[in-house]
Structure 1
C-alpha cells in the first residue's frame, strides 16, 4: 500500500484547500446569519442563497461531483473527477472541516450514495429523470430506510410494505430520520420496504424510487438532534399511505433490496468517516489555538499537562483513523466493497468515536464557549455523535467484526495450550 497522493489528487487537494480558505470559511458567519434571518421570517426550510452562490463558484472552478467514480461516471454519462476511493479520501476530509461544505461541491450525503445507486441499479429512464438533475445540483434526494416502530439496526425488521398491484407498486409505512427530506428541492426518495414477507430472510426487501410529490406522502415533522434541526436539510419523520408508483420504479428487481444496500452503504459509510476526520482535525486546530491564547492559574491552558496529554492523544487518534480509512479505501478499490466489508465496519466504529472524543476535548478547552454556537464545536459534536447510529449503529458493526475475527479460527486445528507460568 502506498498512500502518497497522486499528482492528480494533490493538485485537486490544493485547489480544494484554496477554495475553503477563500470562500467556505469566510461564508460561515453569513451562512448562520441567513439561517437565523430565514427563521425569523418563517422560512427556515428554504435553500440558502449563501450555499447556492458558493455552488456556482465551485462549479465554475470545476470542483464539482468530485466523489463520482469512473465506473459510475460512465454509467451516468456525466463528467466527474474520476477518482478512486483512496484518491477521494483527502478531498472529502478537507470538505468535512465545515459541515455544509460538501454540499457546495455537490458531494454531500445522502445525494452521493443515491446518485451512485441510481447510476448502478437504475434504468435509463431513472437516470434521465433523477440522476442527471442530481448531478447538475438542480434537485436533492433522500434515502427512506429507518423506521420508528422496529429496531431498524436489523434491516430484516423493516415493516413498510411494497406490494404489487397490477402495473404499480403500493407503499404503506412510517419512516423516520430521513435525512434531506426537509429540503423543498428533495424530488425523490429511494425507499426500502418489504415486498414478500414469505421469501428467504434477505430476499424479502426491495428498493423503489418514489417521487417526492406522489400522493399519499406526508412529512410529519423534523426531528431535532440534541436541539438542532439541521434546516433546511432536516431529518424527517414521514408517512407513506397508499403511495402508488409504476412497477418500473423498482430498482434492480423485487427482493434485491439487501443487494442494493450493500452496494450503497459501503461507500456512504467510508465517505462519512473521511469527512469526520476533517471535522476532528478542525476541532484539534481550534483546541490548540484556544489553549495557547487563554491563561488560567498563571500559565496558558496549553501549558497545563492535562491539555498537552489530550492534544497528543487527539493527534494519535486522528492519524490512526486516517490510516484505517485509507487502508479501507485502498481495499475497496483493489478488491471491491464485499471483500472490504470488515474494514468498512471497523472504520465506521473507529471514526465517529474518535471524532466525538476529540471534539469533546476541544469543547472542554473552550470552557463555556464550547457549549454555545459562538464556536462550531457543539454542532460538530452532535453531527459526530449522530454518525454512531447512521448507516448502522456501533454495536452492529462490532458484532460483524467479531464474527469475522472468530471465523478465522473456526476451522483451524486446535493449537497446543500455552504453558502456565506460576508466580
Structure 2
C-alpha cells in the first residue's frame, strides 16, 4: 500500500510538472542554515501569546538539501560553488562562477530562461556581481574577478540580448570605474538607472532596469529600519519582468551570511526579517498568480550558530530587538566617544551592568575590537553560541510555493533543484 501511494503521488506530481510554470522565482538565503530559520521563529514570536507562531519559512518547508561541492574542494562549499550547483546543476570547485571543474562554462537556468524568450532579473542585497547572482548570469573561473564579472554582465549576450533585464543591488565600485563606466553603457543601451532605494517605487515598467545602491553590498537591514529593502527590490523587479512569456527572477538575502561570518546574531535576525517580509509578499503574489513557482533555499550554512549555548537550556531573543543600528555602526559611534558604554547602552537599548560598562570602556578604541565586544555582549544576553566564522557542511532547508512545490520535497541534493527547473523549462537532457 505504501509503495502504491508513493507511485500515485509521483504520478500526480508528474502531471503537474508537465504544465510549465510561467514565472519562476528562485530565492537564496545566503548562509541560511536550519539554526537561523529556527532562531528567527523565536525572534519573530509574539511574546504576548502562549503559542510559538509559525513563520513564512515554516509554512512552506518541503525538504532538505545537501550542499557539498566538487570532490576537489572537500565537503564544505563556498557561495560560488554553492550557487553554481543551484544555477547549473553541476558540482564545481569553491570559487567557480558557473564553470565546471575544468573551468568550462555551464548553462544556467536563468540563461536558459532567456534563451526561451523569458525576461530575467536579479535582486540581491550584496553587489550584483557577487558570487550568487554572478553564478546565474555569467561565467568566470574565479568569484574574485569582480570587474571582469561586471564587464560580462554588459558584454555577454544571449540571442543578441542582455542576459539580465533587471539588476538590483550594490556595486558602484565595479560598475563605475576609472577604466570603464558600465552604468553609462547600460543607460545608453536603454536601461533606466536608479541609485537610491527610495526611487524603486517610481520606475517605468516598460524599460529594463539597473539599480545600484552602494559601493559594494547594501547597508545592513538594521541601518535601514524604515526600508525593507529586499522586499522593495523584489516588488519592483517583478513589476518590470511581468510579461506574456513569463520571467525568471533570482532573489538573494545576501547578508544573512555576512552577519553570521561576523558572529553577529542581531544583524542575522534583522536580515532574516528582511527576507521573511519578502517571502510574505511572494506568498501573496503566488496566491494571485498561480502560474508562478517560488523555490527558496540556502547555498550553505554559516557560523555554526547555536540557539542556546554554554550548557544553559535557554535562548533569549528579546535583547536583539531594540537595536537602533547594526553592531558595526554602533561600534563606529562608540569608538568616537569618551564613554563608549553610554553609546552602546543607548544604541542597543540595553541597561548595562557595571561590569559590562567597564568591559566596554576598556575595549581598544578600534572598530573591529568594539564590534566584537558588542556582539559578545549580545551573545551573552541572548545565550547565543558560534562554532565558526566560516561555512559549515550542514544540510539546508528547501521551501517552495505554488502547485509545483512537491517536486522539491524530501531529501535532495542542491543540484536537483536546477535539474528540476531545467525540466520544467523544457531544456533537452
User: Per the shorter chain, which TM-score range?
Assistant: under 0.3
TM-score between the two structures when normalised by the length of structure 1 = 0.27
Which is richer in helix? 1
TM-score between the two structures when normalised by the length of structure 2 = 0.27
